[in-house]
Homo-oligomer: A and B are copies of this chain.
Amino acid sequence: MLTAVIMAGGKGERFWPKSRTKIPKQFLGLTGEDTMIQATVKRVNKLIPYEHIYIITGKDYAKLAAEQIPQIPFENIIVEPEGRNTAPCIGLAAIHIEEADPEALMVVLPADHLIGDEEKFVKLLESAADLAEDGENLVTLGVKPERPETGYGYIRLADKKGDYKGNPAYAVKAFREKPNFETAQYYLESGEYLWNSGMFIWKVSTIRKKIREFIPDLDLGLDVIKNAIGSDNYQEVLRKEYAAFESTSIDYSIMEKASSIYVFPGDFGWDDVGSWTSLERLFPTDKEGNVVRGRAIGVDTRNCIIEASGKLIATVGLEDVIVIDTDDVIMICPKDKAQQVKELLQKLKEEGLRDYL
C-alpha cells in the first residue's frame, strides 16, 4: 500500500502578516487559487488515492485541514498535540499508518512547497517507492540546484545505485546544513550537490526500525501511543508522551546517521516558498524589477515586493523593500531584514497584541 503523509504543522512566520497563527501559510493560497495544502494533496493524489493520504498537523489546524481537504477521510487527519520538529511528527504518522498496514510505503511531503512539473514529480515518486520497497532503504528527493541558494540544506551525492522505473538513484555521501554564499557557489559549481527538498519515501517498517536504532526514546513513546490508538485515553497518552519527546528533525537524527540512504536527483520546478522574497522567483517582475500584486503605483521604486489588498500602495524612492498589506496589518521591511520579522512577532507577544500574530 502506498500512502502519503502531508506535514502541515508549520507556523509560516516568514509569511507574516498574511500567514497568521489562526491560518498559517500552508492553508493560504499565496501563489495560486488553491491553498498550498490543497495543491499538495491534489498533486499527490495523481499517484495515491485520497483514502491513503494522511495529514499531520497541529490541534488548532485539524478543522481547517478537514474543511480545505474534504476528500480525505477525517480519521486520516493526525493531530500533534504540539510541534516537536519532523522526527516525532513522522513517527506519529508512521504508527497510525502501521495500524492499517505495517508494510505500507510512506511518501512524506511538506504541505507548503510548490512543484512546477507535477508529471516529473509523480514519476520520481514512483521510482522512489520502487527503491524503498526493499525495506532497508531511506529514500529522499533532491533538487538540482539552479543558483547558489543559502536558504536550503544540501545533499552530497556518492555513487550511482541504479535506475528505478527510469530514474537514477544515488547513494548519499552527506547532508549539509544551509551554507554561506561562497560554499553555496562551490556546491553549485561542483555538480555533486542537490538541494534537500525535505521529501522522503520509505516503508513504515523501515522508518520505525531506524527510529528504534537512532532515537530509542521516541520509539518507546511511539509504542505507548500506538497501544492507545482507538482507546478512550488516546489523547491523554498522546499528550503526555509527546511532551517528553525531544524536538529533533528527521534529517539530523536519522538521515545524517543511517546507512542505505538514497536520493533521486530531480528537476521538477521545486520551490520551498520559504519567505516573501520567494515571490520574486514565482511571479513576473515589472521592468523596474518589482513583484506587484494588487493595485500599486511607484516612482523610482525598484526590486520591491508589493502585495496590496484593497488600498492603493504608493511608493516613492523605494528599493529592495517588502510591503504587505492585509486586512489589519501593513508590514514594511527591507528584503535583507526579512529574518527580523520574527523579532517583530516576539514584540507583538510581549506587548499583548496577540491578535496580530
* Residues on A facing B (Cβ under 8 Å): 17, 297-300, 308, 311-318, 321, 323, 325-334, 336-338, 340-341, 343-344, 347-348, 351, 353, 356
Contact = CB atoms under 8 A, between A and B. Distances in A.
Given A330-B330, A332-B332, A343 B313 contact: no
A341 B316 contact: yes
Number of copies: 2
A247 B10 CA distance: 63
Contacts of A323: 330, 332
Contact of A344 (B299, B327, B334): B299
Nearest to A317: B337
A259 B63 CA distance: 83
Contacts of A313: 329-330, 332
Contact of A300 (B17, B318, B337, B353): B337
Nearest to A337: B317
A325 B325 CA distance: 10
Contacts of A343: 299-300, 316
A348 B326 CA distance: 23
26 contacts: A17-B314, A297-B348, A298-B344, A299-B344, A312-B328, A312-B329, A312-B353, A312-B356, A314-B331, A314-B348, A314-B356, A315-B331, A315-B332, A316-B333, A316-B334, A316-B340, A316-B343, A316-B344, A317-B334, A317-B336, A317-B337, A317-B340, A318-B334, A323-B330, A323-B332, A330-B330
A64 to B, nearest CB: 23
Nearest to A308: B330
A311 B348 CA distance: 14
Contacts of A326: 311
Contacts of A341: 316
